[in-house]
Structures are given as C-alpha cells and as structure tokens.
Structure 1
Amino acid sequence: MPDNSQRQPAIFLPHGGGPCFFMDWTWGPAETWKATRHFLESLASTLPAQPKALLVISGHWEEPAFTAGSAAAPQLIYDYSGFPAHTYQLTWPAPGDPALAARVAHLLRDAGLPAATDPTRGYDHGVFIPLKVAFPQAQIPVVTLSLNHSLDPALHIAAGRALAPLRDEGVLVIGSGMSFHNLRGYFQPQTADRARAFDAWLTTAVESPALERNTLLAKWREAPFAAFAHPREEHLIPLMIAAGAGGDAPGKRIFTDEPMGAKISAYRFDG
C-alpha cells in the first residue's frame, strides 16, 4: 500500500479583511481578528509534514480559464485601499514554482478544463496576508491559481478533483476566501442570525460524505440566506476547489469565530 504519511490536506481558510492581521485595528476593535490570527499561526503545526509547496486559490483573482501563476519570484499585489501606509510596505518573499504551475495547468487540461499559466501574476492579499501569518518564513514555494470567471461551483469542484493528486506529492491545497462575505452586512443587527444559519448549512454540507457534499456545495445558492452571505460568490468559490481536492472522506470544520458580527468558518479535507 502507498505511504500517505506525507499526504497534505486541502484547506479552506478565511483571509480576513484587507491587511487586518498587520494593523492595530481595522473595521472595529483591535480584537476583531485575534482568533483568526491565532488559527492561522497554528496551522502549520497541524500538518503531517512541512509542505513541499502551496497551491493557493484566492477569491481575488478571476480569469476566463483557470490560470496558474508561473513567476519564479512573484511580487506582492497590494489590492486593498484606504489602509495605513505601513500596510503597503509589507513583505513576504516566498518563491514561486514555475514547474508546479505547469503541472497544475496540465492536470486541469487533462481533465478537460480550460487552463493557462501567467508568468507575471504576483501574490494578491488573499494570498500573502494570511500566509504571512501562517508561514512567516516565506520559504515554501507557492503557486497561485485563479478562479474561473464563470464562478460555477460544479466547475470548481471538478477542478479540485483534477488537482487532488498534488496532495500525494506534498502540495498543500489552500482555498483562501471567506465563508461569509457581505461588506454591507457587517455590524448590522440582522446579520448574526443570518450568518449563523448559513454557516450551519455550510458546515453540514462540508461534513457530509463526499458525493453528498459536492452535490450540496454545487447548489449552495439554495442554502438559507445564501444571497445575503454572498451577494457575489467569489469569496466562497475557493472552498469548492478545496472540497473537490478533498477526497472521499467528509470534511470538518477546524475553526469558527464571529468577527464584525458575522460567523465565519475554516474547513479541512483529509480524505
């Protein structure tokens, strides 16, 4: 039997709001993102081994075809506005991995999915902000992967299935988004109950057997308060790739909190 002791999981994590982990406060009290920061700080210690590479799907990059960033030394993209000057001077010099980017595109094409590479794409804040917390030494190679601009959940689940073999090669698959992402809903009195209802549905879906899980996630718009939780779904769709790559076992919720009055969760797939 193959040795799966080094097999990496697939994870969906919340990347917070802008450069939130590197400010004294943002959109609320200084404690707003403390629990999420602690979760990210502990993430590496929960892995079976140090990953050989990270494949990161950010909710902040969409292309007509799934596109893997193939730069050898990606630059940071400060794609947030209105924050203190020092947050535009953050560094996180993790190397790229052009060979892995080519393999990602190859796996997707072999599955009949549109795929490309981009030698100029850097790390947007959905990549470098949470990973600067989780992997501060910036030594592990990183390849970023865009969403398909259709935002079709079933298509992204299929992409995850195509990429699942990378986990056996020591690649940690990370979907970086937010399980609740309604900027106008934060701090509103109706939000807490609605976000909890959506989160409960989402967690039940993730923790279902794989076939049922993927069916439910593909129909996530039928969840309670789905349109309220995600007026536009780009921050949820990275979860679909993580789930697709997650194998046959049920996923599990590994973190939850209620920053800014809205419940958010992180999920892990070890199947």
Structure 2
Amino acid sequence: MTDTANTREERQPVLFLPHGGGPCFFMDWAGWDKMEAHLRSVAATLPRKPSAILVVSGHWETRVPTVTTAEKHSLLYDYYGFPDHTYHLKYPASGSPALAARVRSLLTQADIPSAEDDSRGLDHGVFIPFMLAFPEADIPIVELSLREDMNAAEELRVGRALAPLRDENVLIVATGMSYHNLRQFMTGDPSTDAIARTFDSWLSRTVEAAPAERDQALVNWEQAPGARICHPREEHLLSIMIAAGAAGQDRGARTYSDVVMGKALSGFRFG
C-alpha cells in the first residue's frame, strides 16, 4: 500500500490547510492571493512526495468515521451561486482502496467503529485546495469524514489512531477554516474583526503549545475567547483535532497567517 519511511526526517507532517471560500481561487475574487500562494507552496515543504494522502475536510459528516473506497473520484460541487465555469473544474486524482482498508484497520485496533463509502465524491474542501497544493493530481487520495456529533475529544482519538500512517509515507491533511462565521465573513461585518483576531491568536498559541497542553485546550476550544462567534458551528475547525491527534508529540507551528475581508485566518503544520 505505502512504503515505510527509513528515518524520522522522512516522516510526513500533518497539515491543517485553509480551503478558502467556495471556488475562490478560480474566479475574480480579490483577497485570496496570499492563501493561494500558501497552498501552492505546500508540496515543496514536504520531506518527500507522499505515496498517498488521507484528507479530512469540514464538508463531510457521518455517524462514525467513514472512508472513501472508490478507485476513481467524482467531484462534489457543493457550493452555490458561483460562476458557471467553477462547476466544471476537474481534479482527476485516483482513490486508494488499500489506504482506506489500512485506515479502517488502525481505527479498529483503537476500538473506534468505522465505515466506508464507495460512491461519494471529493467535496470542495478537498479538490479546491488540492488543485493548488497538488496540481498534478497524481497522488492517490482517501477522504475521511468527521463525526456528526462534533465530539472534539473523539476526533483527537481518531487522529492518534491514524498517526502510524505518517511513517508509511501517507500525508494526513485536515482542511477547514480557522474562522467560519459565514454571515459576518461574507458580509464583511467589521464588528467582529477584533474578536476574530483574538480567537486566531488563541488558536495559534494553542497549536504551538506542548502537545499535552495543546490537546487539552483543543478539546475545550469552546472556552476560548470569541469561540462561538468565530465558529457558530464547529465543522470547519473540528478537522484540526484529527491533525493534532495524528501529530502525537510533534509540536505545531503556524505556517500561514492573513486577514481576508477583515477576518484573521491561519494554517498550521505539525512535525
């Protein structure tokens, strides 16, 4: 399925990537240039080309963690009201039934129930950022769902179970947005700009803290300043729990920081 890394230096990191707003990078929409540049830089920062990618986005929720098992992916254009050409974007990456089986095996070993889906396509939280980060579409991809109960502690446990994949040359990627209040974001409401900055600072400090402190703070993320204003619903933040769990004892670092339409946004790397 995958080759095994020979040294710690070859272990793949874990990434939390911002995926932007809908197909923002493929239309005339100002403000996303720095995020686009960050996504385009990702592959060059890896220790080597991954054999496969396991990705978790904020756009798929199921009762138990579920993996895609198709050999070939369709795409889900799960955004609305954008120009016609954005519904014809292509990203022909293959799937990996072998990686999907390995994911389920690791979850079973950790006593975490799981399921599989052989027909679901990749949502825009995957193919939009990956068109920039991995434009050749030549790395097999398996998508993993979030739990629909939004249990942060359980998502951390999922991530911990999947950590061995990093030594098998599998890149674990979580995509989402560190700020995701669409009403205030898309309308450019300036009244919460300072709140967004405060929450972003908290999240950055938390990710960069010692792993035990980091994980405890992430589980209790709702106690952070402005948490529920920045995330009225947490699906776009929750994937970072899986990333932190898979990081193990590797500390995190902020690798992207910007202000888009007044709201502070960040991306992170573990390991």
* Aligned residue in 2 for 1:230: 231
* Aligned residue in 2 for 1:16: 20
Q: Which amino acid aligns with 1:157?
A: L
Q: CA deviation at 1:189?
A: 1.7
Q: CA deviation at 1:33?
A: 0.5
* Aligned residue in 2 for 1:93: 92
Q: Which amino acid aligns with 1:242?
A: A
* Aligned residue in 2 for 1:146: 145
Note the alpha carbon deviations across 1:80-112, whole angstroms, 9 max, x for none.
Answer: 110000000000000000110111111112111
Note the alpha carbon deviations across 1:15-56, whole angstroms, 9 max, x for none.
Answer: 00000010012xxxx2x1100000000000000001111110
Q: Which amino acid aligns with 2:50?
A: P
1:257 aligns with 2:266: no
* Aligned residue in 2 for 1:65: 64
Moved more, 116-125 or 221-230: 116-125
Q: Which amino acid aligns with 2:27?
A: M
Q: CA deviation at 1:6?
A: 2.0
Report SS of the residue matched to 2:8.
coil
Report SS of the residue matched to 2:16.
strand
2-structure distance, mates of 1:138, 1:14: 19
Q: CA deviation at 1:200?
A: 0.7
Moved more, 218-227 or 116-125: 116-125
1-structure distance, mates of 2:154, 2:268: 20
* Aligned residue in 2 for 1:206: 207
1-structure distance, mates of 2:74, 2:41: 26
2-structure distance, mates of 1:66, 1:249: 24
Q: CA deviation at 1:113?
A: 1.1
Percent identity reads: 53
Where do 4+ consecutive residues of structure 1 move more than 4 Å? none
2-structure distance, mates of 1:189, 1:24: 23
2-structure distance, mates of 1:4, 1:217: 26
Q: CA deviation at 1:2?
A: 5.4
Q: TM-score, normalised by structure 1?
A: 0.96
* Aligned residue in 1 for 2:163: 164
Q: Which amino acid aligns with 2:229?
A: F
* Aligned residue in 2 for 1:75: 74
Moved more, 105-114 or 207-216: 105-114
Q: CA deviation at 1:5?
A: 2.9
Q: Which amino acid aligns with 2:208?
A: E
* Aligned residue in 1 for 2:216: 215
* Cα RMSD for the two superposed structures: 1.1
* Aligned residue in 2 for 1:119: 118
Q: Which amino acid aligns with 2:25?
A: F
Moved more, 168-177 or 243-252: 243-252
| Gaps in structure 2 of 5+ consecutive residues | none
1-structure distance, mates of 2:223, 2:96: 38
Report SS of the residue matched to 2:163.
helix
Report SS of the residue matched to 2:9.
coil
Report SS of the residue matched to 1:112.
coil
Q: CA deviation at 1:119?
A: 0.7
**Aligned residue runs from structure 1 range 36-47, under 5 A:** 36-47=35-46
Q: Which amino acid aligns with 1:90?
A: L
Q: CA deviation at 1:4?
A: 2.1
Aligned residues: 265
**Aligned residue runs from structure 1 range 23-38, under 5 A:** 23-25=27-29, 30=30, 32-38=31-37
| Gaps in structure 1 of 5+ consecutive residues | none
1-structure distance, mates of 2:18, 2:96: 24
* Aligned residue in 1 for 2:242: 241
Q: TM-score, normalised by structure 2?
A: 0.96
Q: CA deviation at 1:115?
A: 0.6
Q: Which amino acid aligns with 1:13?
A: L
2-structure distance, mates of 1:69, 1:160: 17
* Aligned residue in 2 for 1:132: 131
Q: Which amino acid aligns with 1:93?
A: P
